[in-house]
């Protein structure tokens, strides 16, 4: 019997046992759909994360400073010398001091980041002012602050001071709100400015009695970032021996993110593959039941001249067709699931063709694997015993 004849007969058998075929298909559909959906969602999350990170610009750099001796802090008076010393590689440059303090919002205590910085931060992070203005060099020691978009919304919902011109109490002192930020992406290794209250660095350090912990800056155009990073590290070691510096570049973090996302996507694919294996076991179980129920049919086939190879191929094709039908439907289910997730999350929809090919190939492999043992068992059936049953 030719392959095409086997295919047509297999279709007739599957249609004759609709309920059993549907049960076998469900496992393959869910398994293939899980593989396609999980890998696609992981790829979309990777693209979205990298897109948002790259939107900040790959020419940003952050220098985190930690005092060698406890109790030391970097004062603002040293920033002009640092800015001048690093001017060959970096411009502009914004020092930052950060503190997280608890705030009661509608009876719930939450931690808010207070960021002391200069006007250069708005230029570095491309901050957009929704209302009012950002801090300026003229605000030296003034008790002014700018609210991030999310913290302003939460203050407004809780009927707390949240508008330009209103007074906000911080550590027993009154701060005047002078501006509100538009939502922005998270900075390079920074606290989230959407959830922050920004003050002039001079005001912050006077009230907190702390010091500068990080310096954000941008590479000058046309320089080699890797070589410039080495030069900056040497300059800091030579001129700030009482501090250790950790330099963070976007290229490094993007490479790390790519590696982490690849592992994450691989993990999702493995989890989805487990579902597909479970579906394959279901197909094997259904095929074994089919072999048992059709022993008389197998005996008649062998008695009238069918070879063991013919019997084996017939049941193997049946298992493969179940898996392939399930694979096609599963790919559709996976693509639909990925699309729904992208719509809910607001991501750009993306499904790669290799992922669909992978899902289809794996479902075919599962069909061969799950149908091989039942097919071999069917081919070993003794026609005399089968006809007597």
Residue ranges making up the domain that contains 191: 96-210
- Are 103 and 46 members of one domain? no
Instruction: Answer with the one of 210, 230, 263 that is the final residue of a domain.
Output: 210
Residue 328: inside a domain: yes
Q: How many domains does the chain have?
A: 2
- Are 289 and 378 members of one domain? yes
Residue 236: inside a domain: no
Residue 65: inside a domain: no
| Tokens of residue 259, six digits | 């590696």
- Are 268 and 381 members of one domain? yes
Instruction: Give residue 52's pLDDT.
Output: 66
Comparison of pLDDT for 334 and 256, the residue scoring more: 334
- Are 266 and 179 members of one domain? no
Residue 33: inside a domain: yes
DSSP string over 36-55: HHHHHHHHHHHHHHHHHHHH
- Are 127 and 198 members of one domain? yes
Least confident of 51-65, 83-97, 153-167: 51-65
Per-residue pLDDT tens digits for 140-185: 889 999 999 988 998 888 888 888 989 888 777 788 999 999 988 7
C-alpha 1: how far from chain center? 51
φ/ψ of 171, rounded to 5, equals 50, 45
- Are 16 and 112 members of one domain? no
CA distance 349 to 339: 6
pLDDT band at 263 (very low <50, low <70, confident <90, very high): confident
pLDDT band at 188 (very low <50, low <70, confident <90, very high): low
- Are 118 and 175 members of one domain? yes
Instruction: Answer with the one of 183, 210, 237 that is the final residue of a domain.
Output: 210
pLDDT band at 209 (very low <50, low <70, confident <90, very high): confident
Please state, rounded to an integer, the average pLDDT across all residues of the chain: 79
Per-residue pLDDT tens digits for 218-259: 888 888 888 888 899 999 999 988 888 888 877 666 677 677
The answer, yes or no, to whether residue 292 has pLDDT greater than 80, is no
| Tokens of residue 283, six digits | 């197909």
Instruction: Give residue 329's pLDDT.
Output: 87
Instruction: Answer with the one of 175, 210, 245 that is the final residue of a domain.
Output: 210
- Are 273 and 202 members of one domain? no
Highest mean pLDDT among 4-13, 19-28, 156-165, 189-198: 156-165
Residues 257-265, mean pLDDT to the nearest whole number: 72
Residue 64: inside a domain: no
Identify the residue whose tokens are 């399930």. 326
DSSP string over 120-161: HHHHHTT--EEEE----GGGTT--EEEE-HHHHHHHHHTT-S
- Are 384 and 279 members of one domain? yes
What is the percentage of the chain residues whose pLDDT exceeds 70? 82
For the chain, give the number of residues.
Answer: 389
Q: Which of 27, 2, 17, 6 is nearest to 367 (CA)?
A: 27
Task: Verify cis geometry, omega within 30 degrees of 0, for the bond prior to 336.
Answer: no
């Amino acid at each position: 019997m030719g392959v095409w004849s086997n295919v047509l007969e297999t279709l007739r058998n599957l249609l004759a046992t609709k309920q059993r075929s549907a049960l076998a298909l469900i496992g393959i559909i869910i398994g293939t759909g899980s593989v396609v959906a999980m890998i696609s969602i992981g790829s979309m999350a990777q693209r979205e994360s990298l897109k948002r990170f790259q939107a900040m610009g790959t020419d940003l750099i952050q220098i985190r400073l930690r005092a060698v001796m406890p109790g030391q802090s970097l004062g603002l008076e040293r920033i002009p010398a640092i800015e001048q010393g690093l001017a060959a590689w970096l411009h502009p440059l914004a020092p930052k001091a950060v503190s997280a303090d608890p705030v009661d919002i509608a009876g719930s205590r939450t931690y808010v980041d207070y960021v002391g910085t200069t006007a250069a931060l708005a230029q570095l992070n491309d901050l957009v002012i929704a209302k009012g203005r950002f801090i300026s060099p003229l605000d030296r020691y003034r008790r002014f602050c700018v609210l991030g978009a999310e913290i302003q919304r939460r203050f407004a919902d809780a009927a707390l001071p949240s508008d330009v011109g209103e007074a906000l109490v911080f550590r027993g002192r009154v701060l005047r709100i002078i501006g509100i930020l538009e939502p922005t992406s998270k900075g390079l290794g920074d606290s989230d400015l959407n959830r922050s209250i920004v003050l002039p660095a001079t005001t912050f350090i006077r009230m907190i009695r702390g010091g500068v912990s990080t310096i954000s800056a941008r590479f000058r155009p046309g320089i080699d970032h890797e070589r410039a990073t080495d030069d900056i590290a040497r300059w800091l070691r030579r001129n700030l021996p009482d501090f250790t510096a950790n330099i963070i570049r976007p290229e490094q973090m993007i490479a790390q993110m790519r590696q982490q996302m690849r592992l994450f996507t691989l993990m999702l694919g493995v989890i989805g593959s487990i579902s597909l294996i479970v579906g394959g076991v279901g197909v094997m179980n259904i095929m074994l039941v089919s072999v048992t129920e059709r022993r008389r049919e197998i005996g008649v086939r062998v008695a009238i001249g069918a070879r063991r190879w013919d019997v084996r191929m017939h049941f193997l094709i049946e298992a493969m067709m179940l898996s392939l039908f399930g694979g096609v439907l599963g790919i559709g289910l996976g693509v639909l699931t990925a699309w729904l997730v992208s719509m809910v999350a607001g991501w750009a929809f993306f499904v790669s063709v290799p992922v669909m090919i992978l899902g289809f190939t794996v479902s075919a492999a599962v069909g061969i694997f799950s149908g091989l043992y039942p097919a071999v068992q069917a081919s070993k059936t003794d026609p005399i015993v089968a006809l007597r049953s």
